[in-house]
Homo-oligomer: A and B are copies of this chain.
């Protein structure tokens, strides 16, 4: 397909994702002070819509920073000196949560699944049975670096049989994958603003179930101030935050959450699943091998065929077609830099975005002499969408 037919930039990376114009314009509203009734009303509505998004009756805290900020807050606030964690990883982000506990001198039992594979819930059960002293369990719902989804519902049911709290990284899951925090028994659910929530980066969110709130009321965490969730929970009861919040991001997030409400969460989950199905079908039809044996619907990744240079391929996509896709990441379990690419199905996207993206990917691969019959990607995508 002729690159000249492409004229719109498309940000198809799994975060940040594109932001709707109405949200951008809301963020351009004049600044209001955060200690006002006006802000309090905005914050109260935001918190209510976050609860509906997380499907929880508990509080959802809004924290300035990245998803990592919010996850570190959850990790460090809910544990006492000397307590042990079970940390489940299978990609760069799961490994990061292990690094954070290492930095905080928290002893860990670790599960490291091979990159691209989900952890077997039975393995979690076994470790919890063997080590009744485990105080928290961390896991990634959708591991962005490997485009892999874990069976959070099964693992939550297992953890719920113990006194350990389950802290779920839902950064590329909340608002994209079916997820019911209270019904599944997730104690802590964390996400960020720049994925399915259709906002620029800058806000992290921490949902707290009943058991997590109870733990916060008695725990004595060490070496934490700004990220001490006890402080945030206390303020939250008055629709407030302990430190000056990013007011314009919060206003923008409210508008984005209203849009999610209007579309309906079930519809968004269905759409995300359909776009992911189309993406996987098109990749496989073009002869690309998926990077995950347990693919997440929020992001799809494929290994490059032999001979494809990552920088050239993604450079061509961006320069010639205006399409920005993500490359691979490196961690302890694997180094996928230069070996894979990934596209997002989250947030402000509809079927036109993956169709354009898949057509461009096909054209860019053909340009690099990969043998693909023109039309293969869209044929497969269309068939998958029937």
Q: What is A's interface to B at a CB cutoff of 8 Å?
A: 9, 11, 13, 15-19, 24-25, 27-34, 36, 64-69, 72, 99-100, 103-105, 192, 194, 200-202, 222-228, 243-249, 324
Contacts and interface: CB of A to CB of B under 8 A. Distances in A.
A31 B197 CA distance: 13
A18 B248 CA distance: 12
Given A31-B16, A31-B18, A244 B64 contact: no
Contacts of A13: 33
A11 B28 contact: no
A283 to B, nearest CB: 21
20 contacts: A11-B30, A11-B31, A16-B244, A18-B30, A24-B27, A24-B28, A24-B30, A24-B248, A25-B28, A27-B27, A33-B324, A64-B66, A65-B69, A66-B244, A67-B243, A194-B244, A200-B247, A200-B248, A246-B249, A249-B249
A39 B258 CA distance: 29
Nearest to A171: B244
A194 B35 CA distance: 14
Contacts of A33: 11, 13, 16, 324
A202 B249 contact: yes
Number of identical monomers bound together in the oligomeric complex: 2
Given A16-B244, A66-B243, A243-B66, A11 B25 contact: no
Given A34-B201, A104-B223, A200-B248, 7 more contacts: A13-B33, A64-B202, A65-B65, A65-B69, A65-B226, A201-B245, A201-B246
B200 A243 contact: no
Contacts of A225: 68, 72, 99-100, 103-104
SS of A interface (majority): loop
Contacts of A32: 11
B246 A200 contact: yes
Contacts of A201: 34, 64, 244-247
Residue from the set A11, A72, A225, A247 with the largest chain B CB neighbour count within 10 Å: A225
A244 B248 CA distance: 18
Contacts of A9: 30
Contacts of A244: 15-16, 66-68, 192, 194, 201
Nearest to A103: B225
A254 to B, nearest CB: 15
A19 B11 contact: no
B64 A103 contact: no
Contacts of A31: 11, 16-19, 194, 200
A103 B228 contact: yes
A17 to B, nearest CB: 7
